[in-house]
């Protein structure tokens, strides 16, 4: 039986390549359920058809209405990649104003293994809310792959050059170690 991975995708430069991560996750035995932030889905950061073809499931991007079918299996782990500064800071403060944030805040309370791989620039990283948010999330058990553990911010205006080397596999590697006994 496959383990179920909820994958949250934010509106950041690497997002169009998320099928790379999905294919790797499926190859590692995960059944992937993809959740896009509204900006990622509606802003064209995610190729909805490609993601849905890869996973065999529709992308979720909003809360389901009570009359809508389609519950997913329960998650065994959660990955966030790419994670924006906006998602990081709102998640750390407990916001659940989007479906993606609702899933993330609940995942902490459920004690699920969670790994997050950021993508933001150095000017954004200089804001004091970023370090506080990363510290808060790490304190909740989230593997935030930031700094020496994974992603290092790039100078403003140079993110495009970092997209080809975005280390997608690190988020799965981090989950693999934690999710096996979970």
For residue 25, give Cα distances in angstroms to 88, 89, 98.
Answer: 22, 26, 24
**Alpha-carbon gap, residue 59 to 19, rounded angstroms:** 12
pLDDT of 27 reads 95
How do the domains of the chain map onto residue ranges?
A: 3-179
Q: Alpha-carbon distance 42 to 149, whole Å?
A: 31
pTM for this predicted structure:
0.93
Give the residues across from 35 on adjacent strands.
Answer: 8, 60
Alpha helices for 95-167 (secondary structure H): 99-110, 122-125, 128-139, 159-162
Residues of the chain with pLDDT under 50: 180-182
Backbone Cα Rg of the chain: 15
Residue 65, pLDDT score: 78
What's the pLDDT score for residue 106? Answer: 95
**Residues 8-56: tens digit of each pLDDT:** 999 999 999 999 999 999 999 999 999 999 999 998 899 999 999 999 9
**CATH 3.30.300.20 is right for the domain spanning 3-179:** no
Q: How many CA atoms lie within 13 A of 11 on its CB side?
A: 10
């Amino acid at each position: 039986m496959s383990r179920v991975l909820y994958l949250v995708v934010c509106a950041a430069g690497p997002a169009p390549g998320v099928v790379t991560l999905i294919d790797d996750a499926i190859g590692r035995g995960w059944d992937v359920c993809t959740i896009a932030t509204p900006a990622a889905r509606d802003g064209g950061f995610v190729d909805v058809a490609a993601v849905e073809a890869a996973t065999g499931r529709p992308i979720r991007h909003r809360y389901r209405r009570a009359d809508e079918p389609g519950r997913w299996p329960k998650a065994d782990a959660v990955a966030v990649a790419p994670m924006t500064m906006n998602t990081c800071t709102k998640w750390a403060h407990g916001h659940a104003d989007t479906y993606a944030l609702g899933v993330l805040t609940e995942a902490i309370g459920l004690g699920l293994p969670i790994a997050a791989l950021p993508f933001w620039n150095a000017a954004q990283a200089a804001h004091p809310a970023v370090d506080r948010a990363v510290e808060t999330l790490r304190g909740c058990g989230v593997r935030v792959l930031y700094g020496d553990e994974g992603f290092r911010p790039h100078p403003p205006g140079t993110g495009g050059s970092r997209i080809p080397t975005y280390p997608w596999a690190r988020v799965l590697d981090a989950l693999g170690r934690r999710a096996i006994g979970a």
